[in-house]
Amino acid sequence: MNWLLRFLPADKRQMVVLAQRIVASLDTAEERKAAIDYGVAMLADGKVSVAEWARFGAKLGILRGRH
């Protein structure tokens, strides 16, 4: 996958690397899948509310709270 990153513009490449690091920091495959699935659903309509960001942060382990 990393060889494909060379073909992306720098800003997109940085976003992919950040996403890889966030996903790698999650402990289990189930946590990774839940975070990815929620992130995709959250971004589907192109709008993200503050509450959605908070739930996403909780799934990533950044914010504490119910997930």
Q: Which pLDDT belongs to residue 57?
A: 84
| Domain residue ranges of the chain, discontinuous segments joined by + | 2-59
- pTM, 2 dp: 0.62
The model's pLDDT over 17-35, given as tens digits with 9 standing for 90+, comes to: 888 888 788 888 888 888 8
Q: Which pLDDT belongs to residue 16?
A: 86
Query: What CA–CA distance (Å, rounded) separates 56 from 63?
Result: 8
Q: Which pLDDT belongs to residue 44?
A: 93
**Sequential DSSP letters for 7-66:** TS-HHHHHHHHHHHHHHHHSSSHHHHHHHHHHHHHHHTTS---HHHHHHHHHHTTSS-S-
pLDDT over threshold 80, residue 63:
no
Angle between helix axes 50-59 and 29-43 (nearest 10 degrees) is: 170
The model's pLDDT over 32-57, given as tens digits with 9 standing for 90+, comes to: 888 889 989 999 999 999 999 888 88
